Structure formats: C-alpha cells, structure tokens
Amino acid sequence: MAKKIQDTPQEGSSLNEPPEERPLVEIRTYSVAADGRLEELNSYPFETYGTCPVVGDTILTRDYIRGGATPYVVKKRYFVDEGSRYAGWALILQEVESVGEPIQLWGEWNEATEFWDKLAQEETEKFNVSVLREALRGAVAKKPKSEKDKKGTYDPRIIPPS
C-alpha cells in the first residue's frame, strides 16, 4: 500500500482519542504515479463528501506537504464491494495546474471560513458572558427574609460586625 500524502488528524480530533470504528462506506482517492502505480491520497467516510464525486469533478484538497491546495480532476471512479459489510468508492484523480480559478476559489473559501469562524466565536463568547452574568445575578440576589429573620432572630448568612 502506498503511503498516504495527507495523513493528518481531522480538525477537532485528538491523538489521545481511541480510533473510531471503520466507516461502512468510504471514499478513497488515488493518483497515478509516473511509473503507473496507484498511490492512495486519502480516505474519508462517505458523509465527508455528501455524495460521490463524478468523473469531471474538481476536488481541492489541502496540501500538507507543500502548503496551500492541490486541485485534482476525477478521471475514473469505481465502486468497490469488499464482500463483507464494507464498501466504498475509489476515485482516480489527476492533478491539474494550481493556477487560476481553483486557487482563487481556495483563497475565497478560506477567507469566508475565517470570517464565519470568527463570527461564531464572537457569538459563543457573547452567549457565555450572558450565561455567566445570569448565574452571578442569581448567586448574589438577596433572598427574601423569612418571618423568623424579620423578627430579629439570628441569620447565619450574615456575619455580625466585629
């Protein structure tokens, strides 16, 4: 088996987490090396794509080695039934030139992602502050005095002046 180019943990996962069960349906991508051998690029659960890319589709993938993105065009696709409970799609990809529209799209996509991530973070911080304020308001709110407290009996919550 060829070494995967992009073998980096998914965002949100941790190296200390136990491995998940293998997905029932996965999509594996391959490129053809100069000597004609297939080299696996990556493998993701089917849900990552939402649908199986078709011949002619362009896939932009983060290039962890060179940085940026690498555009690939789907040249062939095969459905592989392992005969057990597992199956999936094998996509044969061809790398295309990293200029023009695909790279512009990659930049725009990442800028929008940064914008929406920042907005979500700000909204989360606002929500957390409001929850904290409400909790503090409840913690310091004066409790209504009982009839005993009104008559001048000792209230252990109040420290007498020294």
Q: What is the pLDDT of residue 46?
A: 94
SS3 label, residue 39:
strand
Question: Is residue 68 within 8 Å of residue 52, measured between CB atoms?
Answer: no
User: pTM for this one?
Assistant: 0.60
SS3 label, residue 126:
helix
Tell the residue number behind the tokens 């065009």, with chain if given.
73
Counting the structural domains of the chain, the total is 2
Question: Is residue 124 within 8 Å of residue 61, measured between CB atoms?
Answer: no
Q: What is the pLDDT of residue 142?
A: 66
Residues of the chain with pLDDT below 70 are 1-18, 141-162
Q: What is the pLDDT of residue 151?
A: 57
Q: CA-based angle 42:109:78, to the nearest 5?
A: 30
Shared domain check, 84 and 37: yes
Shared domain check, 89 and 56: yes
| In a domain? residue 70 | yes
Shared domain check, 108 and 79: no
Q: What is the pLDDT of residue 83?
A: 84
Q: How many CB atoms lie within 10 A of CB 50?
A: 7
- Sequence-distant (6+) residues with CB within 8 A of 76 are 55, 91, 92
Shared domain check, 109 and 86: no
User: In the chain, what are the helix, strand and coil shares in percent, each to the nearest 5?
Assistant: 30, 25, 45
Q: How many CB atoms lie within 10 A of CB 72?
A: 22
Q: What is the pLDDT of residue 30?
A: 96
Residue 56 is part of a domain; what is its CATH number? 2.40.240
Beta strands in the chain (DSSP E): 25-32, 38-45, 58-62, 69-81, 87-95
| In a domain? residue 60 | yes
- Sequence-distant (6+) residues with CB within 8 A of 48 are 27
